[in-house]
A and B are shown apart, each in its own frame.
Chain A
Amino acid sequence: MVIAKPEWFKKKKGFFSFEMTWQGTLYLIATVSLIFIGMMLPQNMLISLPIIGLFLFLFFDMIYASLQSMDERERSHYSIAMRNAAWGMIITMIIVTTILSSFNGIKDNLGVLIMITAFVGAIINFSTRYKLEKES
């Protein structure tokens, strides 16, 4: 944790009711907006690399701060969800890469591969946490 503070992402109630403070909301908006800024700017390595680096830094900083705001039960749920999501993303990457390479190659569709993998990871993460939260 370098910038974000755990109390910005403090979860007070159930699974859906995050009570994020304005600092947390601002931090989330700033992080997500970097994706759109990166997409809008010309595709140049000199411009893209610092934006990708900044995005990754803010993203992992936010994840770390969010983890600090969780209690031990939520943290164990999160760990299980991340493990499932990682496996799902690996399998998705293998399948999508195989499909893309058999058609027109992955070089032109790298963005599609990343988007699909991230989407599958997010869905698996969310559904695992939802299931665990319902069970306990």
Chain B
Amino acid sequence: MTQEELAEAVDVTRQTIIALEQGRYNPSLILAYNVTKALQKRYIEDVFALDEID
């Protein structure tokens, strides 16, 4: 799946997908869930990871 296709699937811009990939933007829970679904993964942790937990 291309960035463009993923962006369209979750209704955001391609820039937002790029920012997500590069870890420069923390998505909302809804966006994280939508991206997980679009990538056909089961859990949000399969796509996103927290580097540090305070």
Contacts and interface: CB of A to CB of B under 8 A. Distances in A.
Interface of A: 11-14, 71-74, 133, 135-136
A136 B13 contact: no
B16 A74 contact: yes
B25 interface: yes
B12 A12 contact: no
Interface string B4-41: 00000001111110010000110110010000000000
Interface of B: 11-16, 19, 24-25, 27-28, 31
The B interface, classified by DSSP as helix, strand, loop or mixed, is loop
A72 B15 contact: no
B13 A11 contact: yes
Nearest to B14: A13
Given A12-B13, A136-B25, 4 more contacts: A13-B13, A14-B15, A71-B11, A71-B13
